[in-house]
Amino acid sequence: MGHATSLSHFLILSSSRFSRLGSLTRLLSKPTSLSGSFSSISVTGQGFRCCCSVATDDTSPSVKKRVVSGVQPTGSIHLGNYLGAIKNWVALQDTYETLFIIVDHHAITLPYDTRQLGKATTDTAALYLACGIDVSKASVFVQSHVPAHVELMWLLCSSTPIGWLQKMIQFKEKSRKEGVENASVGLFTYPDLMTADILLYQSDFVPVGEDQKQHIELAREIAQRVNHLYGGKKWKKLGGRGGSLFKIPEPLIPQAGARVMSLTDGLSKMSKSAPSDQSRINLLDSKDLIVDKIKRCKTDSFAGLEFDNAERPECNNLLSIYQIVSGKKKEEVMEECKDMSWGTFKPLLADALIEHLSPIQARYQEIIAEPEYLDKILSEGADRAEELGAVTMRNMYQAMGYYQRRRY
């Protein structure tokens, strides 16, 4: 985020050692409609990238599965973050126990403005709530307020071969931009922190976009390696319960809205880090700015509008955005727009975006005007996260042979 934007955003399939996991048949879930409801389907999995997840207590059917996800507080949250992740979280919170994180530790591995980090953190939290995260159903907290994320990262680093991290595509891309000699160690070990975010809460599933792959494969590999090195009979001999220390996370892919592309290049993902603000719709953009960005966005010279034509990536992207923000079915959009010109469609899309985002913007202004309310929510969310994470950390320290503190 400077890196990828979502904890619910973290992964990419590699043709290297991770590809063998791609052949596994996984139980995934997909929305049955644009409302984001999920149904189980059996598919051939391919690995992903994440900081979002879902966990279950297998021994009690009455206990909800758990979803954990997040977004970095860098730059403005844009339409891709919202449609690709946050909107789906709102649907998940009705079915699962959910924890949503502002992942500020991830934001410091690239150069950043120290004067803006705090404000960006609270702004991101306020947008979570404005987008529909309900604190009666979900916990919202700041990553750095729960020290166990970093503690677990260090324990995982001790079991992660350097070669695994060297194969990570994100590090290669980011370090090239910074210069390999100037890239931080934090950027290199960033995947271990993502893995800690997933494993700390015993996640079963990881909500990810179709393009988010490699880090979830790494998280699975690390979990399996730690279970082998320290779990089972070895842990039991040290006084533990034995068995696995971590559940092995699986990907959870939304059917619609998983990937929103740039307004200036239909083959590139909408991104906070893109140099041109014209490439994205930010959730807090004014009405006039949204109209201007849609008016100027890249299109093509084909007649009519259509989905799923590989020669028309911008057309597919804009129609997909319209489909989701309007709440219409794909077939309805196809029938409505098939004979439209761009001059007719663009104002239609801009109006739909404004109508969809206006309530979010109004709610955001209400929340940000009450800092004590927001602070209370973040504090209570961190308390809940610490309670859950403490169990994982006690087990890890015991299984790895640490001398435990005696309290008097």
pLDDT, tens digit, 9 for 90 and up, residues 119-162: 999 999 999 999 999 999 999 999 999 999 999 999 999 999 99
- Predicted confidence at residue 255, as pLDDT, reads 61
Active site residue 269: yes
Pick the CATH number of 277-369 from 1.10.10.60, 1.10.240.10, 3.10.50.30, 1.10.260.40: 1.10.240.10
The topology (CATH level 3) of 66-257+371-400 is Rossmann fold (3.40.50)
- Mean pLDDT, residues 163-189 taken together: 77
- Mean pLDDT, residues 340-366 taken together: 96
Among 313, 232, 307, residue whose Cα is nearest residue 265: 313
Q: How confident is the model at residue 22 (pLDDT cuts 50, 70, 90)?
A: very low
- Predicted confidence at residue 275, as pLDDT, reads 85
Tell me whether the CATH fold assigned to 66-257+371-400 matches the one assigned to 277-369. no
pLDDT in tens, 260-316: 999 999 999 898 878 899 999 999 999 999 999 999 999 999 999 999 999 999 999
Range name among 153-157, 191-195, 347-351 with the lowest pLDDT average:
191-195
Active site residue 298: no
* 232, amino acid identity: G
State the helix-helix crossing angle for 287-296 and 342-368, rounded to 10 degrees: 150
Please say whether the dihedral angle defined by the alpha carbons of residues 168, 171, 172 and 173, taken in this order, is positive or negative. Answer: positive
Catalytic residue among 87, 167, 213, 269: 269
- Mean pLDDT, residues 358-368 taken together: 96
d(CA 373, CA 379): 10
Active site residue 272: yes
State the helix-helix crossing angle for 114-130 and 371-399, rounded to 10 degrees: 100
- Predicted confidence at residue 272, as pLDDT, reads 82
Catalytic residue among 167, 247, 272, 346: 272
pTM above 0.85, yes or no: no
Catalytic residue among 174, 213, 247, 293: 174
Domain ranges of the chain: 66-257+371-400, 277-369
pLDDT for 377 beyond 60: yes
One-character DSSP codes across 211-230 = T-BHHHHHHHHHHHHHHHHH
**Mean pLDDT for the chain overall:** 82
- Predicted confidence at residue 283, as pLDDT, reads 95
